[in-house]
Chains A and B, each alone.
Chain A
Amino acid sequence: MSGRPMEAGRTLAMGENEAVARERPTVEAPFGRALARLGAARPEIVGLTADLGKYTDILPFRDAFPQRFFNVGMAEQNLVAVAAGLARTGLTPFATTYGVFASRRAFDFIAIALAHSNLNVKIIAGLPGLTTGYGGTHQAIEDLALMRMIPGLTVIDPCDAVEIEAATEAIADHPGPVYMRLLRGVVPVVLEPGQKFEIGKARKLREGTDVGIVSTGFMTERALDAAEGLAGRGVSVGVLHVPTIKPFDADAVADFAAGVGHVVTAENHVVVGGLGSLVVETLFDAGVSRKVTRIGLPDRFIECGSVPTLQARYGLTTEAMVATITGLL
């Protein structure tokens, strides 16, 4: 036996504070709080889950609006189909489950029932990437790749509590289907509060010239910490945060890459098909010639174990990122 126990606590499959890399202020259930707030102003918002209400932070909405909340049971295809039906009556459904079950089990329903008809449904996907120790059945390591292939679907991977709340508001305003990754439970605050979330816009969070990290999801927090650490050693590292995977902010990425010596991509996802692939495609299209190093998960199923152990083993920690970047110089 080694490592920390596989903490499950209030959750089904989880390491405690699954997204926290280092000490930061935190917010409890930012998605649920934001949705409950929105629900008060917007009676057309309805909530759904497939037997994972407790585990996807949507209970604040259910408690505030029990008449507008539907638990369809453990039935992810039905979850998406029912959400499509609700949307066709003029409502705005937010439907929660885990990323694996939304993207794998219900793929056809998201593609056809939602995206093909451009229906106004928001899929909120828990346990993104390597945030659970339950092995391949629960780790949504390729959901961004799958979802970005679907025409017309907006795909978002927020980095912290502030961004989750802002993105929840933004996608409620956006008329069309969305797949958003969820960081649940106790979620750190990384960004300055008070900013609006702009779908499709990257944000430069740190200037730097030697290395430019293009990151998404919770890897942005780690990228900022890694950049800070490397600055102390005289390495200038910039960070471009790309929370929207689709539509992709190709211009911002090409500009950013042109200003640095070496590009590093960082995602909580396999390195094929997701952010890393998008950056490489983008730079090629734009004629920007830079070496790109992709940090992310390998193209294989990942074992069971505690979340901190696995994240360290697969190079998603700040320390691993610092080591990778140091090796490039």
Chain B
Amino acid sequence: MLRNSPSGEADVAVLRRKATNLRRHMLTMARGQGAGYIGQGLGIADLLAALYFHELRYDPENLGWADRDRFLLSTGHYSIALWAALAEAGIIPVEELPTYGADDSRLEMSTLDTTPGVEMIGGSLGHGLGQGVGQALGLGVHRSDARVFVELSDGEMQEGSTWEAAMSASHFRLDRLVALIDCNGIQADGPVVLDMEPVADKWRAFGWETVEIDGNDMQAVVAALAGAREKNGKPKAIVLRTLPGKGVPRIEISEKSHFFRVDVSEWDGIIAAFEKSEGGTA
């Protein structure tokens, strides 16, 4: 059955509850091995909830449907967020979530496209946007009206390949292409190591119609996605300012936010606190 309609109205309250469910799934996953890229996942939970339960047109029973909207997760290490969304969408069994990162699990810590619902292999960072350009061009050749959404990180804006893709997208007038840039302020070595501001102006200079929003404000996320539907010959960029660990205070303040590991005993406390603060929103 087809999910989401191209012009549907968003019920923000419902989407917020979906985001809470995604966060809950991520906590379940990270508890499995005691670790994971959960800070990043929690940070983009609101975006993924808005995509998978409002904006993206896809059929969970027919993942290969040629006219589906594509969501490309360029940051393979954010896999935890994608697994949460795919589980909530009924594509992956919820019971499988605790295997995240375990030997022989399909829910790898860094995505492989052998897991259902994955459109590209992320992890070698800087690959996503160019592959999105290719998919957007290809859909045009097939006269499909499907769209392509590419998530990428602030760290990925340091790879030259990102800007090669950005330049080609505006050249090819790919208005079906939406870049979702997760500016969470961190990368492997800590707080972002290069000054990349002003981010939105860079995308504008490359010919992208660009908005900058609080990526943890569901209303703003939904509005930005609606704005990106316009067929005006320009690729769309949404710069999302997100908070790593959003919704889980213990992870929000962690210095380990690029990779978060604590003892199993501590996970239980983190999860209990989360359920208490989210009481009744499931």
Query: Assuming A73-B158, A135-B108, is B124 touching A2 (CB within 8 A)?
Result: no
Q: Which residue of A lies closest to B156 (CB)?
A: A74
Q: State how many angstroms separate the Cβ of A79 from the closest Cβ of chain B.
A: 10
**Which one of A54, A55, A100, A306 contacts B103 once the chains associate, using CB atoms below 8 Å?**
A306
Residues of A contacting B105 in the complex (Cβ-Cβ under 8 angstroms): 1, 304
Interface-facing stretch out of B52-60, B186-194, B201-209, B266-274: B186-194
Bound-state CA distance A6–B109 (Å) is: 9
Decide: A71 near B261, CB < 8 A? Known: A5-B101, A135-B112. Answer: no
Is A21 on the interface with B (CB-CB < 8 A)?
Answer: no
Segment 1-23 of A: residues with Cβ below 8 Å from B: 1-3, 5-9, 12-13
Q: Select one of A49, A51, A52, A309 contacting B158, CB under 8 A.
A: A51
Q: In the docked arrangement, what's the CA distance between A268 and B147, Å?
A: 43
| Inter-chain contacts of B117 with A (CB < 8 A) | none
A289 CB-CB contact with B under 8 Å:
no
Is A326 among interface residues, defined by CB-CB distance under 8 A? no
Contact with A along B123-135 (1 / 0, CB 8 A): 1111000000000
Would A3 and B110 be within 8 Å (CB), given that A9-B261, A55-B188 are in contact?
A: no
> Which A85-129 residues have C-beta < 8 A from chain B?
100-101, 104-105
The reply to whether the CB of A65 lies closer than 8 angstroms to some CB of chain B is no
- For B193, the chain A residues whose CB sits under 8 A away are 51, 71, 73
- Tell me if A78 and B160 are in contact (CB < 8 A): yes
Interface string of B97-119 (1 = CB under 8 A from A): 01101111100111010000000
| Identity of the chain B residue whose Cβ is nearest the Cβ of A100 in the assembled complex | B124
Q: Known contacts A1-B98, A134-B109, A304-B108; is A74 also within 8 Å of B103 by CB?
A: no
B202 to A: closest C-beta gap in Å = 14
Docked Cα-Cα span, A78 to B101, in Å, equals 32
CB of A243 within 8 Å of the partner chain: no
When C-beta atoms are compared, the residue in chain B nearest to A6 turns out to be: B101
Whether a CB of chain A sits under 8 angstroms from the CB of B121 is yes
A60 at the interface (CB under 8 A from B): no
Count of A-B contacts judged by CB separation below 8 Å = 106
Whether A6 contacts B102 in the complex (CB less than 8 A), given A51-B155, A73-B193, comes out as: yes
> B102 is contacted by which of A2, A8, A100, A135 (Cβ under 8 Å)?
A2
Residues of B within 8 A of A9 (CB): 261
CB < 8 Å neighbour of A54 from B109, B126, B155, B188: B188
Chain A residues with CB under 8 Å of B103's CB are 1-3, 6, 305-306, 309
Q: Is B76 an interface residue (CB 8 A)?
A: yes
Instruction: Tell me if B136 counts as interface (CB < 8 A to partner A).
Output: no
Contacts of A13 in B (CB 8 A): 109-110
Contacts of B35 in A (CB 8 A): 5-8
Given contacts A5-B102, A137-B124, A306-B103, contact A77 B160 (CB under 8 A): yes
Q: Does A181 contact B (CB under 8 A)?
A: no
Main SS class of interface, A: loop
Query: Given A8-B35, A51-B187, A135-B110: A74 and B159 within 8 A (CB)?
Result: yes
CA distance A99 to B59 in the complex (A): 39
Chain B, residue nearest A55 (CB):
B188
- B112→A304 contact, CB < 8 A: yes
**A305 (CB) vs chain B CBs: closest residue:** B103
* A274 contacts partner chain B, Cβ-Cβ < 8 Å: no
Are A138 and B110 in contact, with the CB atoms below 8 A?
A: yes
How many angstroms from the CA of A6 to the CA of B156 in the assembled complex? 25
Complex partner residue of A8 from B123, B156, B187, B259, CB under 8 angstroms: B259
Residues of B within 8 A of A72 (CB): 158, 194
Point out the residues of chain B lying under 8 angstroms from A38, CB to CB: none
B34 on the A face (CB < 8 A): yes
**A39, CB-defined interface residue at 8 Å:** no
Within 8 A of B (CB), among A23-71: 49, 51-55, 71
Chain A, residue nearest B259 (CB) = A8
Of the candidates B76, B104, B189, the one whose C-beta lies within 8 Å of that of A137 is B76
Residue from A7, A71, A105 within 8 A of B124 (CB atoms): A105
Whether the pair B110, A73 counts as a contact (CB closer than 8 A) is no
Find residues 112-170 in chain A having any chain B CB closer than 8 Å to their own CB.
Answer: 133-138
A186 contacts the other chain (CB 8 A): no
Task: Provide the residues of chain B in CB contact with A306, threshold 8 Å.
Answer: 103
Contact string, B168-207, partner A, CB cutoff 8 A, digits 1/0? 0000000000000000000111100110000000000000
Chain A residues within 8 Å of B194, by CB? 71-73
CB-CB nearest 4 A-B residue pairs? A137-B123, A73-B158, A3-B103, A1-B102
> What are 5 sample pairs from A and B whose C-beta atoms fall under 8 A apart?
A5-B35, A7-B35, A51-B188, A73-B187, A74-B155
Q: Which residues of B contact A (CB under 8 A)?
A: 32-35, 76, 98-99, 101-105, 108-110, 112, 121-126, 155-156, 158-160, 187-190, 193-194, 258-259, 261
Give residues in A with beta carbon < 8 Å to B.
1-3, 5-9, 12-13, 49, 51-55, 71-75, 77-78, 100-101, 104-105, 133-138, 303-306, 309
